A and B are shown apart, each in its own frame.
Chain A
Amino acid sequence: MSAWFLLIVSILAGSAGDLLNAKSMRDHGEICDFRPGAVARVIGWLARDLSMLISILAQAVSFFSFLALLGVADLSFAVPATALGNVIKTLFAKIFLREQLCWRRWTGALLVSFGVWLVSL
Protein backbone atom coordinates (compact mmCIF):
# COMPACT_ATOMS: atom_id res chain seq x y z
CA MET A 1 0.00 0.00 0.00
CA SER A 2 1.31 3.45 -0.83
CA ALA A 3 2.94 5.45 1.97
CA TRP A 4 0.95 8.54 1.00
CA PHE A 5 -2.35 6.65 1.25
CA LEU A 6 -1.41 5.31 4.71
CA LEU A 7 -0.27 8.77 5.80
CA ILE A 8 -3.56 10.37 4.73
CA VAL A 9 -5.60 7.63 6.45
CA SER A 10 -3.52 7.99 9.64
CA ILE A 11 -3.86 11.78 9.76
CA LEU A 12 -7.57 11.89 8.88
CA ALA A 13 -8.56 9.04 11.21
CA GLY A 14 -6.48 10.56 14.04
CA SER A 15 -8.04 13.97 13.46
CA ALA A 16 -11.54 12.47 13.37
CA GLY A 17 -10.78 10.59 16.60
CA ASP A 18 -9.62 13.72 18.44
CA LEU A 19 -12.52 15.72 17.06
CA LEU A 20 -15.07 13.16 18.27
CA ASN A 21 -13.31 12.93 21.67
CA ALA A 22 -13.64 16.68 22.02
CA LYS A 23 -17.30 16.59 20.92
CA SER A 24 -18.10 13.80 23.35
CA MET A 25 -16.49 15.61 26.30
CA ARG A 26 -18.15 18.88 25.35
CA ASP A 27 -21.54 17.10 25.26
CA HIS A 28 -20.81 15.62 28.68
CA GLY A 29 -19.94 18.97 30.20
CA GLU A 30 -17.16 20.02 32.54
CA ILE A 31 -15.93 17.36 34.95
CA CYS A 32 -15.79 18.90 38.43
CA ASP A 33 -16.04 15.87 40.71
CA PHE A 34 -13.07 13.48 40.76
CA ARG A 35 -14.22 11.13 43.53
CA PRO A 36 -14.20 7.42 42.47
CA GLY A 37 -18.02 7.15 42.23
CA ALA A 38 -18.26 10.26 40.04
CA VAL A 39 -15.39 9.07 37.80
CA ALA A 40 -17.16 5.69 37.40
CA ARG A 41 -20.33 7.54 36.32
CA VAL A 42 -18.33 9.51 33.71
CA ILE A 43 -16.81 6.27 32.37
CA GLY A 44 -20.31 4.73 32.21
CA TRP A 45 -21.62 7.77 30.32
CA LEU A 46 -18.69 7.69 27.87
CA ALA A 47 -19.12 3.94 27.27
CA ARG A 48 -22.66 4.65 25.99
CA ASP A 49 -21.75 7.72 23.95
CA LEU A 50 -21.69 7.05 20.20
CA SER A 51 -19.15 9.82 19.48
CA MET A 52 -16.71 8.32 22.00
CA LEU A 53 -17.13 4.80 20.59
CA ILE A 54 -16.55 5.98 17.00
CA SER A 55 -13.60 8.05 18.22
CA ILE A 56 -11.94 4.97 19.74
CA LEU A 57 -12.46 3.12 16.44
CA ALA A 58 -10.97 6.06 14.50
CA GLN A 59 -7.97 6.23 16.86
CA ALA A 60 -7.40 2.48 16.34
CA VAL A 61 -7.51 2.92 12.53
CA SER A 62 -5.06 5.82 12.86
CA PHE A 63 -2.70 3.80 15.08
CA PHE A 64 -2.63 0.73 12.84
CA SER A 65 -2.26 2.75 9.64
CA PHE A 66 0.66 4.58 11.31
CA LEU A 67 2.22 1.20 12.18
CA ALA A 68 1.72 0.09 8.56
CA LEU A 69 3.22 3.40 7.41
CA LEU A 70 6.32 2.66 9.49
CA GLY A 71 6.54 -0.63 7.60
CA VAL A 72 6.76 1.03 4.18
CA ALA A 73 8.35 4.40 4.98
CA ASP A 74 11.19 5.77 7.09
CA LEU A 75 10.51 7.07 10.59
CA SER A 76 12.12 10.33 9.46
CA PHE A 77 9.29 10.67 6.91
CA ALA A 78 6.43 9.34 9.06
CA VAL A 79 6.83 11.48 12.20
CA PRO A 80 7.22 14.91 10.59
CA ALA A 81 4.49 14.14 8.06
CA THR A 82 2.00 13.19 10.77
CA ALA A 83 2.91 16.41 12.65
CA LEU A 84 0.79 18.10 9.98
CA GLY A 85 -2.11 16.62 11.91
CA ASN A 86 -1.89 19.48 14.43
CA VAL A 87 -2.79 22.05 11.80
CA ILE A 88 -5.51 19.84 10.31
CA LYS A 89 -7.05 19.20 13.76
CA THR A 90 -7.08 22.94 14.45
CA LEU A 91 -8.79 23.50 11.11
CA PHE A 92 -11.34 20.74 11.84
CA ALA A 93 -11.97 22.21 15.33
CA LYS A 94 -12.76 25.51 13.64
CA ILE A 95 -15.04 23.98 10.98
CA PHE A 96 -16.84 21.19 12.85
CA LEU A 97 -16.73 22.26 16.51
CA ARG A 98 -17.04 25.96 15.65
CA GLU A 99 -14.20 26.87 18.00
CA GLN A 100 -13.23 30.52 18.01
CA LEU A 101 -9.62 30.78 16.93
CA CYS A 102 -7.42 33.84 17.41
CA TRP A 103 -3.97 34.38 15.85
CA ARG A 104 -2.29 32.88 18.94
CA ARG A 105 -4.01 29.50 18.43
CA TRP A 106 -3.22 29.37 14.70
CA THR A 107 0.40 30.44 15.22
CA GLY A 108 0.76 27.98 18.11
CA ALA A 109 -0.51 25.06 15.99
CA LEU A 110 1.84 25.99 13.11
CA LEU A 111 4.84 26.40 15.44
CA VAL A 112 4.19 23.06 17.16
CA SER A 113 3.94 21.26 13.79
CA PHE A 114 7.13 22.96 12.54
CA GLY A 115 8.87 22.16 15.85
CA VAL A 116 7.90 18.47 15.67
CA TRP A 117 9.34 18.35 12.15
CA LEU A 118 12.62 19.89 13.41
CA VAL A 119 12.79 17.49 16.39
CA SER A 120 12.43 14.49 14.07
CA LEU A 121 15.34 15.58 11.82
Chain B
Amino acid sequence: MAAPILMRDMTVKGSPTHELKNQAFVWLAVIANTFGNFMLSIGMHTIQFKPSAPPLEYLRVFANPWIDGGVILLIIWFASQLSLLSWADLSYVLPVTAASYVLTAVLGKVFLHEFVSRARWSGICVISFGVMLVMGTAPRARLSGTEIIP
Protein backbone atom coordinates (compact mmCIF):
# COMPACT_ATOMS: atom_id res chain seq x y z
CA MET B 1 0.00 0.00 0.00
CA ALA B 2 2.88 2.36 0.80
CA ALA B 3 4.28 2.57 -2.74
CA PRO B 4 1.17 3.97 -4.51
CA ILE B 5 0.65 6.56 -1.75
CA LEU B 6 4.27 7.69 -2.06
CA MET B 7 3.94 7.87 -5.84
CA ARG B 8 0.77 9.93 -5.60
CA ASP B 9 2.40 12.37 -3.16
CA MET B 10 5.30 12.79 -5.57
CA THR B 11 2.99 13.51 -8.49
CA VAL B 12 1.06 16.05 -6.43
CA LYS B 13 4.14 17.92 -5.21
CA GLY B 14 6.57 17.19 -8.07
CA SER B 15 10.24 18.16 -7.69
CA PRO B 16 10.75 21.49 -5.88
CA THR B 17 12.19 23.13 -9.03
CA HIS B 18 9.33 21.92 -11.21
CA GLU B 19 6.78 22.96 -8.58
CA LEU B 20 8.36 26.43 -8.43
CA LYS B 21 8.34 26.75 -12.24
CA ASN B 22 4.69 25.68 -12.36
CA GLN B 23 3.65 28.16 -9.64
CA ALA B 24 5.62 30.96 -11.33
CA PHE B 25 3.87 30.40 -14.67
CA VAL B 26 0.42 30.10 -13.08
CA TRP B 27 0.90 33.48 -11.36
CA LEU B 28 2.46 35.03 -14.46
CA ALA B 29 -0.59 33.94 -16.52
CA VAL B 30 -3.05 35.21 -13.88
CA ILE B 31 -1.31 38.57 -13.34
CA ALA B 32 -0.66 39.23 -17.06
CA ASN B 33 -4.29 38.37 -17.95
CA THR B 34 -5.76 40.51 -15.17
CA PHE B 35 -3.56 43.57 -15.70
CA GLY B 36 -3.78 43.19 -19.50
CA ASN B 37 -7.58 43.36 -19.42
CA PHE B 38 -7.41 46.14 -16.82
CA MET B 39 -5.13 48.28 -19.04
CA LEU B 40 -7.26 47.57 -22.14
CA SER B 41 -10.35 48.66 -20.21
CA ILE B 42 -8.70 51.94 -19.12
CA GLY B 43 -7.42 52.55 -22.67
CA MET B 44 -10.78 51.89 -24.35
CA HIS B 45 -12.54 54.22 -21.87
CA THR B 46 -9.86 56.90 -22.37
CA ILE B 47 -10.28 57.05 -26.16
CA GLN B 48 -14.07 56.58 -25.99
CA PHE B 49 -13.98 54.08 -28.85
CA LYS B 50 -17.21 53.21 -30.67
CA PRO B 51 -17.58 49.63 -32.04
CA SER B 52 -19.35 51.03 -35.13
CA ALA B 53 -16.20 52.99 -36.13
CA PRO B 54 -14.65 52.42 -39.60
CA PRO B 55 -11.82 49.81 -39.83
CA LEU B 56 -8.99 52.41 -39.87
CA GLU B 57 -10.20 53.71 -36.51
CA TYR B 58 -9.48 50.25 -35.10
CA LEU B 59 -5.77 50.71 -35.93
CA ARG B 60 -5.69 54.12 -34.23
CA VAL B 61 -6.45 52.51 -30.87
CA PHE B 62 -2.80 51.35 -30.86
CA ALA B 63 -1.68 54.97 -30.48
CA ASN B 64 -2.86 54.71 -26.89
CA PRO B 65 -0.12 53.51 -24.48
CA TRP B 66 -2.64 51.83 -22.15
CA ILE B 67 -3.87 49.66 -25.04
CA ASP B 68 -0.30 48.86 -26.18
CA GLY B 69 0.60 47.85 -22.62
CA GLY B 70 -2.58 45.74 -22.38
CA VAL B 71 -1.84 43.96 -25.67
CA ILE B 72 1.76 43.20 -24.58
CA LEU B 73 0.49 41.76 -21.28
CA LEU B 74 -2.11 39.63 -23.09
CA ILE B 75 0.66 38.27 -25.37
CA ILE B 76 2.63 37.38 -22.19
CA TRP B 77 -0.53 35.72 -20.81
CA PHE B 78 -0.97 33.65 -23.99
CA ALA B 79 2.70 32.61 -24.01
CA SER B 80 2.65 31.62 -20.33
CA GLN B 81 -0.60 29.67 -20.81
CA LEU B 82 0.96 27.77 -23.74
CA SER B 83 4.06 27.06 -21.64
CA LEU B 84 1.85 25.75 -18.82
CA LEU B 85 0.04 23.48 -21.28
CA SER B 86 3.38 21.95 -22.31
CA TRP B 87 3.66 20.24 -18.89
CA ALA B 88 0.16 20.48 -17.38
CA ASP B 89 -3.31 19.12 -18.21
CA LEU B 90 -5.94 21.40 -19.78
CA SER B 91 -8.29 20.42 -16.94
CA TYR B 92 -5.66 21.82 -14.51
CA VAL B 93 -4.67 25.00 -16.39
CA LEU B 94 -8.17 26.36 -17.05
CA PRO B 95 -9.46 26.33 -13.44
CA VAL B 96 -6.23 27.58 -11.82
CA THR B 97 -5.90 30.52 -14.22
CA ALA B 98 -9.51 31.45 -13.36
CA ALA B 99 -7.95 33.17 -10.32
CA SER B 100 -7.78 36.17 -12.69
CA TYR B 101 -11.55 36.67 -12.15
CA VAL B 102 -10.81 37.17 -8.44
CA LEU B 103 -7.91 39.56 -9.04
CA THR B 104 -9.97 41.55 -11.58
CA ALA B 105 -12.75 42.13 -9.04
CA VAL B 106 -10.22 43.18 -6.37
CA LEU B 107 -8.51 45.59 -8.83
CA GLY B 108 -11.90 47.06 -9.79
CA LYS B 109 -12.73 47.59 -6.12
CA VAL B 110 -9.34 49.04 -5.08
CA PHE B 111 -8.30 51.16 -8.08
CA LEU B 112 -11.55 51.95 -9.90
CA HIS B 113 -13.67 52.10 -6.71
CA GLU B 114 -16.28 49.88 -8.36
CA PHE B 115 -19.18 48.58 -6.30
CA VAL B 116 -18.77 44.85 -5.62
CA SER B 117 -22.10 43.30 -4.67
CA ARG B 118 -22.61 40.49 -2.16
CA ALA B 119 -23.32 38.07 -5.05
CA ARG B 120 -20.01 39.06 -6.66
CA TRP B 121 -18.05 38.52 -3.41
CA SER B 122 -19.78 35.12 -3.09
CA GLY B 123 -18.70 34.31 -6.66
CA ILE B 124 -15.11 35.32 -5.81
CA CYS B 125 -15.13 32.98 -2.79
CA VAL B 126 -16.56 30.10 -4.86
CA ILE B 127 -13.96 30.60 -7.64
CA SER B 128 -11.15 30.80 -5.05
CA PHE B 129 -12.30 27.54 -3.49
CA GLY B 130 -12.45 25.87 -6.93
CA VAL B 131 -8.95 27.16 -7.79
CA MET B 132 -7.54 25.87 -4.46
CA LEU B 133 -9.09 22.44 -5.04
CA VAL B 134 -7.49 22.10 -8.48
CA MET B 135 -4.15 23.58 -7.32
CA GLY B 136 -3.91 20.64 -4.91
CA THR B 137 -3.74 18.18 -7.80
CA ALA B 138 -0.71 17.30 -9.92
CA PRO B 139 -0.36 19.48 -13.06
CA ARG B 140 -0.31 16.29 -15.14
CA ALA B 141 -2.34 13.75 -13.25
CA ARG B 142 -1.28 10.13 -13.11
CA LEU B 143 -3.95 8.57 -10.95
CA SER B 144 -4.62 5.05 -9.80
CA GLY B 145 -7.73 3.31 -11.15
CA THR B 146 -9.93 4.00 -8.11
CA GLU B 147 -9.18 7.76 -8.14
CA ILE B 148 -10.27 8.36 -11.74
CA ILE B 149 -13.85 9.60 -12.14
CA PRO B 150 -15.27 8.11 -15.35
CB-based contact B123/A97 at 8 Å: no
B contact face: mostly helix, strand, loop, or mixed: helix
A104 near B82 (CB under 8 angstroms)? no
Q: Is the CB of B86 within 8 A of A90?
A: no
CA distance A10 to B80 in the complex (A): 23
Given contacts A25-B82, A111-B126, contact A118 B120 (CB under 8 A): yes
A108 touches B134 (CB 8 A): yes
Contact A121 B119 (CB under 8 A): yes
User: Which A residues are closer than 8 A to B by beta carbons?
Assistant: 18-19, 21-22, 25-26, 28-31, 46, 86, 89-90, 93-94, 97, 99-112, 114-121
Q: Is A108 a contact of B90 with CB atoms below 8 Å?
A: no
A102 touches B127 (CB 8 A): no
The interface size bin for chain B is: 35 or more
**A-B contact list, 16 entries, CB within 8 Å:** A18-B90, A22-B89, A25-B82, A90-B94, A99-B89, A105-B95, A105-B137, A105-B141, A109-B91, A111-B127, A111-B129, A115-B123, A115-B126, A115-B130, A116-B123, A119-B123
B54 to nearest A CB, angstroms? 17
**Cα–Cα, bound, A101→B149 (Å):** 6
Nearest-CB distance from A90 to chain B (Å)?
5
Within 8 A of A (CB), among B34-59: none
